[in-house]
Chain A
């Protein structure tokens, strides 16, 4: 992607039928530090890499609790992520107030996607520069969604976004078929392993990552660093177990990340 005459406004189409500003917003997601999500039948784990601008500063908060049964992890412009989290929280609170029941996650992601779409069709606005992994539980089970700046959303078994996420994606693609039956602990382990892949050599410690979980009988919460440190130690001792033979090539029901040349990234 390079600068051209059709990319000044989000309301300008290119002759090839693309909205460049929207695609640039998707690029912003790729610049953020990695966030991954994976789910089993009863639990969903979100994990992020903590990036601090300098040794002196604290790291950005990338995981937000939205409600007892929903949490999000973000990658991209964290300020946009924070603002969207506030919106999501308000929607959940309002729904609970009126209906005295938790907001189903499928409805929440649609509301979020609609909000993001508005910004792609107003000349005085700009798209949100953040991708959100929305993890939640409702009556139909455990769900994990990815919401793009473009306003589209997809459901995933597992996903990694942000910088150097391809390594994690490859790892998850190898292993995801077994996730359905995973226990809570195995899910956390695999999540940490995927994070390790994105670090590419850097040592994995509990200070460098944040892990959160939500599941049946377990409200959304961030797991404390001591527990994470213990799991990391068991990862090192146990060493990498041979991944289960991936049967057919990941013929997943959800849209996979295969990209045709020239296709706009927001369609993926």
Chain B
């Protein structure tokens, strides 16, 4: 494909994983940016936290693998659209939570991707966050915006290596079983984080584009806010980097 004179995309490799729990969501992505057999940088975050300054903790986080030029453009585009919609909300004094909900952001992302149906963003996205009830949610996308809410997902060069392991561990109920059961995992967040670490370690063994020690984003429901300490701010996020493994 790269032999074509008009090929404008590049695959920078890397893997993203997200797992939804009962009251948390874990999103992780590795940090290597590659082209061909070379590494451009070992230190590039594929995760974007769409937020405004006053509420740095957000309800959702976007992880994208694929072409990082398009990833950057997509993140900026979404951040700007997000700001526009946040401003349109009629904010009363008692309403503090100004962010777009995760399902709304999921639909916005889908529409943004489909807008470029005939010159797509070469990104394979996962949106992780908390829904309006505080339950974890993960949305997985293809390059043109087809999306689905799932209990866990992985995208990127290591995706095919990781997905079977997640299927095995997280026991997603079959869609053939009725009544439909929630795909959200009953694992605790520390167990989910450990699973993600293991899964990255395994993918790294066989995928040249993926490395161990991903960046984590944990979104948790019901934590104290730093900005309004007297009020219970519904969501907070933490970035983890494991010093022990390093």
How many B residues touch A, CB cutoff 8 Å?
A: 15
Q: Which residues of B contact A220 (CB under 8 A)?
A: 54
Closest residue to A219 on the B side, CB-wise? B53
Q: Which residues of A contact B54 (CB under 8 A)?
A: 68, 219-221
Closest residue to B230 on the A side, CB-wise? A226
Report which of A65, A89, A210, A219 forms a contact with B93, defined as CB distance below 8 A.
A210
Min CB distance, A219 to chain B, in Å?
A: 4
How many A residues touch B, CB cutoff 8 Å?
A: 17
A68:B90 contact, CB within 8 angstroms: no
User: A28 on the interface (CB 8 Å rule)?
Assistant: no
Report which of B76, B77, B90, B228 forms a contact with A61, defined as CB distance below 8 A.
B90
Min CB distance, A231 to chain B, in Å?
A: 15
Given the interface pairs A86-B87, A93-B84, the reply to whether A224 lies near B53 with Cβ below 8 Å is no
Report which of B53, B83, B90, B228 forms a contact with A93, defined as CB distance below 8 A.
B83
When each residue 77-93 of chain B gets 1 if its CB lies under 8 Å from chain A and 0 otherwise, what string results? 10110011001001101
A68 to B79, CA, bound (A): 14
Closest residue to B84 on the A side, CB-wise? A93
User: B52 on the interface (CB 8 Å rule)?
Assistant: yes
Closest residue to A227 on the B side, CB-wise? B230
User: A97 on the interface (CB 8 Å rule)?
Assistant: yes
User: A104 on the interface (CB 8 Å rule)?
Assistant: no
When each residue 53-72 of chain A gets 1 if its CB lies under 8 Å from chain B and 0 otherwise, what string results? 00000000100010010000
When each residue 207-228 of chain A gets 1 if its CB lies under 8 Å from chain B and 0 otherwise, what string results? 0001000000001111011000
Given the interface pairs A65-B87, A68-B54, A90-B84, the reply to whether A224 lies near B93 with Cβ below 8 Å is yes
Q: Which residues of A contact B84 (CB under 8 A)?
A: 89-90, 93
A61 to B90, CA, bound (A): 9
User: A170 on the interface (CB 8 Å rule)?
Assistant: no
Q: Which residues of A contact B228 (CB under 8 A)?
A: 224
Min CB distance, B90 to chain A, in Å?
A: 7
Residues of B within 8 A of A (CB): 52-54, 76-77, 79-80, 83-84, 87, 90-91, 93-94, 228
24 pairs from A and B in contact (CB 8 Å cutoff): A61-B90, A65-B87, A68-B53, A68-B54, A86-B87, A89-B83, A89-B84, A90-B84, A93-B83, A93-B84, A94-B80, A96-B80, A97-B76, A97-B79, A97-B80, A219-B53, A220-B54, A221-B54, A222-B91, A222-B93, A224-B93, A224-B94, A224-B228, A225-B93
Residues of A within 8 A of B (CB): 61, 65, 68, 86, 89-90, 93-94, 96-97, 210, 219-222, 224-225
Given A89-B84, A90-B84, A219-B52, 15 new contacts (CB under 8 A): A61-B90, A68-B52, A68-B53, A68-B54, A89-B87, A93-B80, A93-B84, A97-B76, A97-B77, A97-B79, A97-B80, A219-B53, A221-B54, A222-B91, A224-B228
